[in-house]
Structure 1
């Protein structure tokens, strides 16, 4: 049985990885809450890895947020994500961990990257300014794994998921991503009897969405490969305009009012469709239907509201 440390197990991605590991079997899952292990503390992180000696480390821990959070707190985003990546990668090397999978984001690619975005467009032109700090930290984590693999012969590699959604998401009104933000906004409008909901921006940018359980499946697929790419995109290979997304979420929630745009708010990157040919060539593809995934995400939101566990 392999010992796998899932850093960030309380987040949406980390909890999906835990569910997947437990469902698959064959793993002793190691987790640590922040009161026991602060991943920004180098000494504590190195000590934990040396004592637990996992066979695999999956780095799902990160400071994350939407456009507002990224543009309001760039120093926090770059510092915390740089330190988490550096501590876990070097700590893993020192502890003799043979396999590390670092999870980044497709926001690492240039703002005006070719569509769909291939892995080799990384660092070819400027980033989207609203999430530059987060993207730079994630690029650094990817490059750490790439260079540790080259210099030390360690199987350290990365996966770059597209926009994620699903159970365990963050529904904060300002710091959440677009799907949970829309779920909460439409739900509260329905409950309050409002006739209109405004969405950020023009509604024209296109986005791709991957269910978090599909990402977890992709991660374990990559961990099974003997020679995975240094980094690989994980997505569905299709996207839709934000306005169309808003209509689907409103339908899922049962909001029947008017949807209007707020062009005074930023749109972010015009399009972020990823080229998924590389991971599909290894035999993986997503399974969760988008409408089914949205319905499940809304049911999870309602369930966590009832239990008081919703991340609001």
Structure 2
């Protein structure tokens, strides 16, 4: 059985060769055959030259290089398209996904599971980070049509039929955690303790994490739109009841001093709610806008077969560097 390791990379010069050695040491005694498919997501450091060297010295190593940074979602999609293995493992290059778990993942796959999902424990995380993560998952699972599990990320093994199912989902705004949950198939989890990043620094900023969380919520449901409808209906009903109360007060007690403070607070609150509703609708409209343009998810500038190929649009599966 051939196992493909798909490894997205963005400015991982400091760790990429160390990652390769760790993986090579582990698979040297493995029962199955492995291929390593690195996807350079437009790195600006020495990641691409390092991948060239690895591909020249080890026939198991292949790589793709984007014309610019298209994001990890695009890199994972490219890797899934190009992987040829009977099963595909997605893992990061920063060694926070331990290569030593590969054998256990393959063993569970051979028991009949189409998805073997590595679930990170919260051991070593701070109390604030743990509480924030749990609160996030509790909230998003109230809105999403699929269930996200705390500690479950992209580190997982996918069977060939699971890969084919994911590749049929061609939307531009991709949220892979949700896509993997949406396709179903028999799955199991494998707990592991989070490893410390050995070199380099995380590419995720606080803003990036927030935007990623919003993408997850909006990609799999329209409940925020329904919530806006419910909120608007509630406010309208409340305003109607308030108007009836004011009229009744005037009839019973006459005209009193106008409540400018109440009016100002009500107008300000309604304006804020209105802006939030417009923003929610705008987020969905923006996603429709990106989908209808049907741009490719990424553009390749180079791969292991052609070190200096001309840039070409890549939107179909199965291309092998002939641009």
Asked if these proteins are the same fold (TM beyond 0.5), I'd say no
**Bin of the TM-score, shorter chain as denominator length:** under 0.3
Query: Normalised by the size of structure 1, how large is the TM-score?
Result: 0.26
Structure showing greater radius of gyration is 2
